[in-house]
Amino acid sequence: MPILRPLEFLDSLAEEFPELAEPLSELGSLYTRKLWHQLTLQVEAAFSTAAFNRADIPVRLFTAFVTDFAPKINLLKLAQFAVHTSKYFASPPAAVDFLRATITRVEGMKLPRSAEPILFLKMHVAQHLLEQGDAAAAKPVVEAGRTELETLDSVDPSVSAAVHYVASLYYKSMEDYAAFYRSSLLYLAFIASDSLPEDYKERLAVDISLAALLGEGVFSFGQLLQHPIITVLSRGPHMWLGELLTAFNVGDIHKYDELCVAYAEKLNAQPALVLHERRLREKITLMCLLEMVHGLPADSRTIALPSIATATKLSVDGVEFLLMKALSLHLIEGVIDQVDSSVCVSWVQPRILTKPQIAGLKLRLDAWIGKVTAVTMTLENESVGVVA
């Protein structure tokens, strides 16, 4: 079969799909007049309509038309067109081969600012590999992508989002909860949550929340709780998860126990939570300790061990083990005084505050300002007549 020239291809496609004749004619007109920017916008518009997104039309349009003027348009747009096109191949391996061929094409152009589109394409190759269950092949691509992203300046948000999104998929497949949690939050930082479908937002909010609970080294949920995506947990079938996150974030171990009883059926329906029940108990206990420390003024952080025991539902001996655990994880710094049965905390790991926690901090600041004002007035009254 002879290879058609771009305009001949458009005419042929219009004959095959008469309902597309008008937009195809516009594409041909812009191509003839060499209005590459306007042509890019028109192709983008075509790829966003249902009329073009059926059968193998995107594949044919890209391979027979877009590739002809590829060096003349924004390379990141070209990469985005290629990623869109890859979704319409009959098999995942064919999609991977197509994206790899596009990477080779872009590299061969040797044009400036090609690093971002190449990285964008590579991350989608990794995504296809993960969807095929080949995490081993995706791993080096993901790791290299994250490293390369750090070396680039003024990166387009879509590229950063792609890197972090695919990284989150990889870490999810490996059940690395902490890494999945952090990559997902970075992904959300580069996209507008309103642009995500509601069903996907709900699934993502559940996955991130479970990862926050299960992730080793994750002891602050403030960033997650303040993100708009978490509002889906304030209602509906996953409301229990939102309440559980809030209880963990403020270290309310008593509320946690209440929720475990109230939502026992839902909790038992989550295999990961059941499997790591002991880890959850340890985390809520540590977060209870951190909440106690954060609630005290920086110059008055000496806490009696029996007070910690009451708050954490532990024995005094258990509190000592808890403090050693917190010290080893570098959640706090301080000295345990076994004679006085107390601990003096000199430093506590910083955290991102939610609005209620900020309100509590404001009250403490107001109290501190009141003390400073009182001391100032006392000094002023006592210094009357001292200075001539």
**Of the ranges 81-90, 198-207, 230-239, 262-271, which one carries the lowest mean pLDDT score?**
230-239
Please determine, for residue 66, whether its predicted confidence score (pLDDT) is greater than 90: yes
Q: Is the predicted pLDDT of residue 289 greater than 50, yes or no?
A: yes
Whole-number pLDDT of residue 370: 80
Q: How confident is the model at residue 388 (pLDDT cuts 50, 70, 90)?
A: very low
- Give tens-digit pLDDT for 321-374: 999 999 999 999 999 998 899 999 999 998 876 777 677 667 777 777 887 888
Q: What's the one-letter identity of residue 353?
A: L
Average pLDDT over residues 48-72: 95
Task: Show the tokens assigned to 360.
Answer: 């509590």
SS3 107: helix
Share of the chain above pLDDT 90, in %: 81
pLDDT tier, 48 (very low <50, low <70, confident <90, very high otherwise) = very high
Higher per-residue confidence, 40 vs 375: 40
pLDDT interval class at 250 (50, 70, 90)? very high
Q: What's the confidence (pLDDT) of residue 375?
A: 79
| Residue 132 token pair | 């095929």
Q: Parallel, antiparallel, or unpaired: how do β-strands 302-304 and 342-348 relate?
A: antiparallel
Q: Please tell me the pTM assigned to this model.
A: 0.88
Nearest to 161 by CA among 186, 129, 195: 186
Nearest CA-CA partner of 259 in 245, 278, 279, 275: 245
Q: Does the pLDDT value for residue 76 go beyond 90? A: yes
DSSP state of 335: E
- Torsion over CA: 351, 353, 356, 358 (sign): positive
- Whether 2 has a pLDDT exceeding 90, the answer reads no
Q: 202-237 b/e with 16+ CB inside 10 Å = b?
A: bebbbbbbbbbbbbeebbbbebbbeeebbebbeeee
Q: In this predicted structure, what is the pLDDT of residue 372?
A: 81
- On the question of pLDDT at 387 being above 70, the answer is no
How much is the pLDDT for 100? 97
Q: Is residue 126 a contact partner of residue 149, using CB atoms and an 8 Å limit?
A: no
The stretch 24-51 carries a mean pLDDT of: 96
Per-residue pLDDT for 94 more than 70? Answer: yes
Question: What is the pLDDT at residue 1?
Answer: 45
What does the mean pLDDT of the chain come to?
A: 92
User: What is the CB neighbour count within 10 angstroms for residue 332?
Assistant: 19
The band of 383, judged by pLDDT with boundaries at 50, 70 and 90, is low
Angle at which helices 177-189 and 157-173 cross, to 10°: 160
Percent of the chain with pLDDT over 70: 96
Higher pLDDT, 202 or 376: 202
Q: Give CA–CA dist 25/7, Å, rounded.
A: 9
What pLDDT band is residue 384 in, cutting at 50, 70 and 90? low
Amino acid at the residue 332: I
pLDDT digits (tens, 9 = 90+) for 110-131: 998 899 999 999 999 999 999 9
Structure tokens at 104: 């080779």
pLDDT value of residue 298 = 80
Residue 46: pLDDT over 80: yes
pLDDT tens, 177-236? 999 999 999 999 999 888 899 999 999 999 999 999 999 999 989 899 999 999 989 888
Give CA–CA dist 262/206, Å, rounded. Answer: 19
Alpha carbon 277 to chain centroid distance? 25
The H-or-E segment that residue 364 falls in is helix 355-382
Mean pLDDT of 248-255: 94
Residue 331 backbone phi and psi in degrees, to 5: -85, -30
3-state class (DSSP) for residue 114: coil
pLDDT, position 367: 74
Closest CA to 64 of 50, 80, 43: 43
Over residues 292-308, the pLDDT tens digits come to 999 888 888 999 999 99
